[in-house]
Amino acid sequence: MNSVSPNLDALARHVSLKVNGAERSADVEPRVLLVDFIRTNLRLTGTHIGCDTSSCGACTVLVDGTPMKSCTLLAVQVSGRSISTVEGLAAGAAMSPMQTGFHEEHGLQCGFCTPGMMLVGTALLEHNPNPTEEQIRWAISGNICRCTGYMNIVKAIQHAAAIKAEAVKAPKPEAVAAGGGQ
Amino acid sequence: MFPAAFDYRAPSSLAEAVDILRQRGEEAKVMAGGQSLIPLLKLRFSQPALVVDIGRLPNLAGVERKDGHLRVGALTRHVQVESNTDLRTLCPILPEAAHWIADPLIRNQGTVGGSVCHADPQGDWGSVMLALDADFVARSESGERTIKAADFFQGPFTTALRPDEVLTEIRIPLAAHSAGAYNKLERKVGDFATVAVAVQVEMNGDKIAKAGIGLTSVGDRNLKARDAEKSLAGKQPTDEAIAEAARLAAAAAEPKADVRGSAEFKRDIVRVFVQRGLKTAVARARGGQ
Amino acid sequence: MAATHVHGGIGESIKRKEDSRFLHGKGNYIDDLALPGMLHMSILRSPHAHARLKSVDTSAASGMPGVIAVVTGELMAQHKLAWMPTLSNDTQAVLATDKVRFQGQEVAAVIAETRYQAEDARDAIVVDYEVLTAVTSPEGAKTAGAPLIRDDKENQKDNHIYHWESGDQGTTRAAFAKADKVVRLHTFYPRCHPAPLETCGCVADVNGVTGKATIYMTSQAPHAIRTVFALVTGLPEQNIRVISPDIGGGFGNKVPVYPGYVVATAASLLIGRPVKWIEDRTENLISTGYARDFHMTGDLALDKDGKITALRVHLDSDNGAFFADAQPSKFKAGLFHIVTGSYDIPTAHITADGYYTNKAPGGVAYRCSFRVTEASYLIERLITNAAIEIGMDQAEFRKKNFIRKDQFPYHSATGWVYDSGDYHKAMDVALDQLGYDELRKDVEKRRKQGEVTGIGIASFTEVVGAGHGADFDILGLRMFDSAELRVHPTGKAMLRMGTKSQGQGHETTFAQIVAEELGIPAADVAVEEGDTDTAPYGLGTYASRSTPVAGAATAMVSRKLREKGRKIAAHLLEAAEEDLEWERGRFFVKGSPDKGKTIQEIAFAAYTNLPEGMEAGLEGVHYYDPPNMTYPFGTYAVVVDVDKGTGQVKVKRVVAVDDCGVRINPMIVEGQIHGGLTEGFGIAFMELITFDAEGNCIGSNFMDYLLPTAWESPKFELGETVTPSPHHPLGAKGVGESPTVGSPAAYVNAVIDALSPYGVKNIDMPVTPDKVWAALRAAGVSE
Ligand SMILES: Cc1cc2nc3c(=O)[nH]c(=O)nc-3n(C[C@H](O)[C@H](O)[C@H](O)COP(=O)(O)OP(=O)(O)OC[C@H]3O[C@@H](n4cnc5c(N)ncnc54)[C@H](O)[C@@H]3O)c2cc1C
Ligand code: FES
Ligand code: FES
């Protein structure tokens, strides 16, 4: 596998992660940031970089289901843990409720913040299926969007919550099956 | 921006951690959540030869009540304090302060212990611990020692910890009829405080038995406003007493002018927040158990 | 027969066609590109604002692991590439050779196998500087004995760049002499930065064998960049291919050519491998196109009835170390002379002076049509102050002085011809939506109870859609734009334009124009921009010009094809052309609606069954040079509460009524307005790039350059009026920037209104708690 640094010296460590359900591993220097590991080593480029100061959330991933800034984690630090990125949101070609929400409510413009926003939204709905506007705004306050003014992002997350609530009321067997594998 | 190269160890026990630090403490940096350290590594302000990741050590995260104390494990994440509903009555200043730290994603990973060890004069937990008169428990190869909050913060990014020591927990005394409040002026979510004030009071009937006041971002470290604290002891929380304490706390502040505002501005916000905090804390202490 | 419904025409809020790749993490942004053998570049920048470069020692860096090359100014000079032209006909250093002139200026670059290695080696370059005194304001630049910043330019004896005037000095002076009241406002519109979430970057791939240079870059104007590159490097233009991939926001930041692009291209040429350069956030904020930095003094002359009789403005522009404003060549201060705004002001006189300072170059229009934001801010602040000073209601005063509907087309005192407008109506809709009269009473009541609260209004007029090409050019390139439409035999189409979306939804909006004009469903129209090898030449996307210019071109090319379609249909239907009638998507024979041919059938025939002598195919291109600008307008109203203890301002409500003419996709239009109102909020309350006395940039990362999050950002209540542009083929005017142009003044006016009982007349942006606190305490208000 192509690694961030080809000069694998004595410092290199073996990092193995479960990424979107699949085991992935590589030998990298300890200084390699998780975001670079994901983007460069795993070639999953949906996770973005927008700043150097842990301020923007463009790099958000879920670590064991919890949203974190992958630019402020070392790859070695999370070795052994389970990571979800935007590429893991959809079940095959079918969009997840969060993706559908963003599409329907025009929750994205340039799309650069979108992966992070959707992951935060996804994690939020896991423990708060019916959040208020205030709760949504608070939850996404570690993620900057320069384009949308957030109004439609809030609506998108509410839209996703509504889809999920519907699905709970009338569970579709196919949807459950599709969610399982990839 | 990328860190300069370093070596990395992730001990699996506290004993192993302190052993590594005994040998290489001087050239090493302990890493808890990494939410302060990694940004510094990326800026290359910090270039340690070794990073000792204590993030995987067991039994150091969580808040529990024990022997009349609250024990906050060093690896307790900000979010664990923020979302702990028991604390809202037991020690409301803790979740209130946690709520305003950094942003939700950083609160998911940053730790209380890392925050106090980082000793940023703009950090929030230091002032809270000063107001609460907390004790800090440090472990090294040679054993355990307790450091009073008032002695812990020694200057900007400088604490009483030795390079071979790890902070393991923070002990917060719990008293009946006590409560606190944290007021923070920040420019936006994710910003450090322009000014913040931690206030804790213990009531004895209609009088204040004891008050603790910690100040954020108005000195080269988190400050304890001792004169203001003393002025309240044994007094009824009248408007005058509160105003006098606020005046004394403002006088104790050592703010510097910067883009966030003038020294006078910051000093006055200390005054406003001590007033607001005392009023809230007294009300909470009276309303609570 | 009922008209066939073609999905996705004008006025439909269809969902965006481009969404899907972004929602799956499959967008293709510049940093996502990985070419075989690609190297990484890191730039060493000056820590000083002004210093003489004594030596640059790269010996240690060159030997470090992974390092392929270290490029210095000296090396660039050997290839005559140490300097490049700017968009304002000045020169800018690519890599410094003589002096550094701002903190963050490019000094050297390392090209290495990985970015980590490139940065390791960058830190090992040793530069010896002789630090010089820095100039950090026009005031400083003017003072006698100020250091000469541009000693590289032969005839430059001081730090003055330009003097520029508009309007009529004589009549204005006379009007002021007769005025019953003069209201003055001195205000500084501080330096801010577009700060799109994606920084700038490029991947330069020069093929050593063919000589073809393919440069992928985050550019809002790829064609213009190609031409500039050809001029800078001397490479033949057909051998340069600029490709703008997906862009993570631009807002003006991605218009200019930056030194990094030139160095990466030169490096790729020298090394023979692709070179990637991606800015980090600090590089973006300290070295690329900033915005504003205007020191303005405005005087408004009034008669005793409160009618405005004249406007006089002087401004000093702080242009940084190189004059690199991205704006039409003729207008040194951009389109600032739209400053008479929405008001019928008989005479005006504007003077402007630009100065070099030791700050980053590149005054771009941050979501604005070349300095219109500064103009709109000044006039709207002045209007509110005037109303307060003469004791008239802000809304009333505006209505009294608005250009009336019957005055359009309106010739302004500074030479603009406003195409259309109905300012009173937009104001009424906004006031109504706000419940202004009730709210005013409530404000008065709450003020009596000691609260600090206020309402702000701004009724802006924008001027967008540059050209006309005779008046508007960039480096001589006339500001037209283009569209090329190809309809395939199956009736599906490919539309290519000279513009470049950065999130505005071009793939959807422009497909809708084709759907409207040619009846091909929007879903069947693929829109492609950004590849100079395939797209027709155009000046790009900024200054809200895509819909007014490229949108018009799209409508025109669609109409061209429709006319060819008519001929084909006539042939197929064996009818005379004049006997055919068009409905969306279909020609039919007048009087027998069943006898018709759909555009899809016509397209097929264009390749299979043509009338005698007709060229095959259904393709066309149109270059649209607009006859005039368009003039979007609107009224924004903001309600704020102020915390007396801390000086914090809480925005309670924002009502925004926009008139951008015909709305092609209302959903996208509203999204644009939300975004712009939020950026306007950021500018009004938090975004600031400032400098200390040594010229150190404060605001160099997102901990200091503050962008609003969802928590601070207000909620918006939108409204609309529709006054179609009379000269645009679709009646559309462009909207992307109205909210950033109009809203800052509305926010600040609300704060000033709240503080007006205490005699406060001005607080410069950003309106931060410390400034409000100081104003309150000075008036004796405290908690
Ligand atoms: C964008 C941003 C905004 C922020 N805003 C705020 C804010 O508003 N208020 C605030 O208070 N903080 C803020 N922080 C800091 C944040 O709270 C950090 O989580 C915290 O300061 C450090 O916690 P950590 O566990 O991540 O520590 P680390 O980064 O891992 O460590 C920090 C320092 O403490 C040392 N250390 C850590 N744990 C121990 C230990 N157990 N024993 C000995 N030494 C130890 C490390 O060696 C290091 O020097 C912000 C951070 C960021 C990136
Ligand atoms: S890239 Fe900005 S927070 Fe990670
Ligand atoms: S959609 Fe562009 S940053 Fe959010």
> Residue A130 forms beta bridges with which residues?
none
Quick one: pLDDT at residue C28?
A: 96
Sheet holding C51-57, edge to edge: C99-100, C51-57, C126-131
What residue of C is the nearest CA neighbor of B261? C770
Provide the Cα torsion C724, C725, C727, C729; round to 10°.
Answer: -60
- Domain check: are C652 and C757 in the same one? yes
CA distance B196 to B187: 12
| pLDDT of C171 strictly over 50 | yes
Is C250 in the same domain as C268?
A: yes
Ligand 2 centroid to residue C708 C-alpha, Å: 15
Nearest to C86 by CA among C320, C315, C372: C320
Task: Find all residues with CB under 8 Å of C520, minimum gap 6, and list them.
Answer: C6, C487, C491, C492, C493, C514, C585, C599, C600
| Residues near ligand 1 (Cβ within 6 A) | A 54-55; B 29-37, 39, 54, 74, 101-102, 106, 110-111, 113-115, 117-118, 123-125, 161, 166-167, 190, 192
CA gap A158, A121 in Å, rounded: 9
CATH class for the region spanning A97-168: mainly alpha
Give the rounded percent of residues in chain B with a pLDDT score beyond 70.
99
Detail the DSSP E strand segments found in C570-707. 580-583, 586-589, 592-598, 618-624, 633-642, 649-659, 690-691, 697-698
pLDDT at A179 over 70: no
Using 50, 70 and 90 to split pLDDT, how confident is the model at A177? very low
Closest atom of ligand 3 relative to the C196 alpha carbon: 3
What's chain B's average pLDDT? 97
**Per-residue pLDDT for A3 more than 70?**
no
More confident residue, B228 or A92: B228
Residues C557 and C446 in one domain: no
Residue C352 lies in a domain: no
Q: Which of C220, C327, C394, C504 is catalytic?
A: C220
| Integer Cα distance of C130 and C607 in angstroms | 70
Task: Quickly tell me which residue has 């640059």 as its tokens.
Answer: C56
Total domains in chain C come to 3
C499 and C558 fall within a common domain: yes
Q: Is the pLDDT of residue B109 over 70?
A: yes
Q: Are residues C619 and C651 in the same domain?
A: no
* Whether residue A49 has its Cβ less than 6 Å from ligand 2: yes
CATH code of domain A12-86: 3.10.20.30
Q: Which of B241, B238, B248, B242 is nearest to B276 (CA)?
A: B242
- B99 → chain A, closest CA residue: A138
pLDDT digits (tens, 9 = 90+) for C565-615: 999 999 999 999 999 999 989 999 999 999 999 999 999 999 999 999 999
Distance CA C384, CA C460 (A): 12
Chain B: nearest CA to C103, how far in angstroms? 17
Q: Over the Cα atoms of chain C, what is R_g?
A: 27
**Distance (Å) from CA B270 to ligand 1 centroid:** 24
Minimal-distance CA residue to ligand 3 atom 3: A145
Put simply, the answer to whether A67 touches B43 (Cβ < 8 Å) is no
Most informative mutation of A38, A61, A71, A119 for ligand 2 (most atoms within 8 A of CB): A71
pLDDT one-digit tens code per residue, A86-116: 999 998 879 999 999 999 999 999 999 999 9
Judge if the beta carbon of residue A82 lies within 6 A of ligand 2.
no
pLDDT higher than threshold 50 for residue A149: yes
Instruction: Give tens-digit pLDDT for C436-479.
Output: 999 999 999 999 999 999 999 999 999 988 778 778 887 788 88
For residue C706, what are the contacts with CB-CB under 8 A and spacing of at least 6?
A: B187, B188, B191, C682, C686, C687, C688
Instruction: Note down the domain range covering C276.
Output: 36-135+195-287
Nearest by CB to residue A141, choosing from B4, B103, B108, is B103
> Are C637 and C664 part of one and the same domain?
yes
pLDDT in tens, C704-757: 999 999 999 999 999 999 999 999 999 999 887 899 999 999 999 999 999 999
Residue minimizing CA distance to atom 1 of ligand 2: A49
Asked if residue C205 belongs to a domain, the reply is yes
For residue A181, name the pLDDT band (cuts at 50, 70, 90): very low
C-alpha dihedral sign at C381, C386, C392, C397: negative
**Helices and strands (H, E) in chain C, number of each type:** 19, 34
Whether residue C312 is contained in a domain is answered as no
Ligand closest to CA A57: 2
Confidence at residue C518, expressed as pLDDT on a 0 to 100 scale: 96
Q: Which residues on neighbouring strands pair with residue B137, listed in sequence order?
A: B146, B169
Whether C512 and C638 map to the same domain: the answer is no
Q: Active-site residue C737, yes or no?
A: yes
> Measuring CA to CA, how many Å separate B131 from each of B65, B134, B194, C361, C408?
19, 8, 18, 48, 67
DSSP H helical ranges for C712-778: 738-755, 769-778
Q: What is the pLDDT of residue C543?
A: 64
Residues of C in contact with B217 (CB under 8 A): none
Q: How many CB atoms lie within 10 A of CB C535?
A: 23
Cα-based angle C733, C739, C742 (whole degrees, multiple of 5): 100
Give the integer Cα–Cα distance in Å for A56 and C197.
Answer: 8
Query: Is C367 considered catalytic here?
Result: yes
User: Would you say residue A9 has pLDDT above 70?
Assistant: no
The band of C481, judged by pLDDT with boundaries at 50, 70 and 90, is confident
Please judge whether C24 and A113 are an interchain contact, meaning their C-beta atoms are less than 8 angstroms apart.
Answer: no
Three-state SS at B277? helix
Q: Tokens in use for C275? A: 């070179």
Residue of C14, C197, C743 to mutate for A, most A C-beta atoms under 10 A: C197
Q: Whose Cα sits closest to atom 4 in ligand 3?
A: A145
Asked if the model's pLDDT at residue A126 lies above 90, the reply is: yes
Do residues B149 and B129 touch, judged by C-beta distance below 8 A?
yes
Complex ipTM, two decimals?
A: 0.97
* Averaged pLDDT, C290-317: 97
- Domain assignment present for residue C16? The answer is no
- d(CA C770, nearest CA chain B) in Å: 5
- Cβ atoms within 10 Å of B178's Cβ, excluding its own: 25
Which secondary structure element, helix H or strand E, spans residue C23, and what is its range? helix C19-23
CA of B108 to the centre of ligand 1 (A): 12
Q: What are the start and end residues of each CATH 1.10.150.120 domain in chain A?
A: 97-168
pLDDT band per the 50, 70, 90 thresholds, residue C231: confident
Instruction: For chain B, count helices (H), then strands (E).
Output: 12, 14
Helix axes C552-573, C506-518, angle to 10 degrees: 40
Are the Cβ atoms of B272 and C688 closer than 8 angstroms? no
Please check whether residue C382 lies inside any domain of the structure. Answer: no
* Last residue of one domain, picked from the residues C257, C287, C317: C287
Written as six digits, the tokens of C407 are 């005055």
Q: Is the CB of A69 under 6 A from ligand 2?
A: yes
pTM of the model: 0.96
Q: Are residues C484 and C504 in the same domain?
A: yes
Question: C87: which strand partners?
Answer: none
Q: How many CB atoms are located within 10 Å of the residue C573 CB?
A: 17
Residue C168 is predicted with a pLDDT of 98
- Cα-flanking dihedrals φ and ψ of residue B63, to 5°? -115, 130
Over residues A45-72, the mean pLDDT reads 98
CA distances from B4 to A30, B48, C279, C484 (A): 10, 9, 18, 50
Residue type, C208: G
Residue C140: asked if its preceding bond is cis (omega within 30°), the reply is no
What long-range pairs does A22-29 form, CB within 8 A, spacing at least 24?
A26/A1, A27/A3, A28/A3, A28/A4, A28/A75, A28/A76, A29/A4, A29/A5, A29/B5, A29/C116
pLDDT above 60 for A178: no
How confident is the model over B63-89, as a mean pLDDT? 96
Instruction: Report which residue type is found at C461.
Output: T
How confident is the model at residue C545, as a pLDDT? 77
- Quickly state the pLDDT bin for A26 (edges 50, 70, 90): very high
pLDDT digits (tens, 9 = 90+) for C491-548: 999 999 988 888 889 999 999 999 999 999 999 999 999 999 999 998 877 766 777 7
Query: Range(s) for CATH 3.10.20.30 in chain A?
Result: 12-86
The pLDDT score that the predictor gives to residue C740 is: 95
Average pLDDT of chain C is 95
- Annotated active-site residue C374? The verdict is no
pLDDT over threshold 80, residue A6: no
Residue A173's pLDDT is 52
- For chain C, the chains sharing at least 3 beta-carbon pairs closer than 8 angstroms are A, B
Work out the number of other CB atoms within 10 angstroms of the CB of residue A80. 11
The whole-angstrom separation of Cα C431 and Cα B247 is 45
Token pair 């979107």: residue: A20
- Beta bridge pairs of residue C111: C41, C69
- Count the Cβ atoms, other than its own, within 10 Å of residue B163: 14
Among C779, C778, C773, C774, residue whose Cα is nearest residue C757:
C779
How far off is chain B from A163, nearest CA to CA, in Å? 25
Pull the structure tokens for residue B119. Answer: 């000793």
C180: in domain: no
CB C676 within 8 A of CB C738: yes
Asked if A46's CB is within 8 angstroms of C710's CB, the reply is no
Distance of CA C53 to the CA centre of its chain: 35
- At the topology level, CATH places domain B7-53 in 3.30.43
Chosen domain end from C256, C287, C318? C287
- pLDDT tens-digit map of C134-155: 999 999 999 999 999 999 999 9
Cβ contacts of A72 on chain B, cutoff 8 Å: 34-35, 38-39, 106, 109
Q: Which of chain B's residues have a Cβ under 8 Å away from the Cβ of A63?
A: 109
pLDDT-derived band at B288, boundaries 50, 70, 90: low
Query: Nearest by CB to B189, which of A60, A74, A141?
Result: A141
Distance CA C195, CA C702 (A): 9
For C216, the 3-state DSSP assignment is strand
Pick the CATH number of B178-285 from 3.30.390.50, 1.10.3720.10, 3.40.50.800, 3.40.50.150: 3.30.390.50
- Distances in Å between the Cα of C207 and the Cα atoms of C202, C204, C215, C267, C728 are 16, 10, 11, 12, 43
Cβ(C397)–Cβ(C181) below 8 Å: no
- Predicted confidence (pLDDT) at residue C775 exceeds the cutoff of 90: yes
The catalytic residue among C367, C371, C496, C566 is C367
A144 Cβ inside 6 Å of ligand 3: no
Q: Quick: pLDDT tens for C205-218.
A: 999 899 999 999 99
Q: Which CATH architecture has domain B63-173?
A: 2-Layer Sandwich (3.30)
Contacts of C647 in chain B (CB under 8 A): 265
C220 is catalytic: yes
CATH of the domain at C440: 3.30.365.10
Q: Where are the domains of chain B?
A: 7-53, 63-173, 178-285
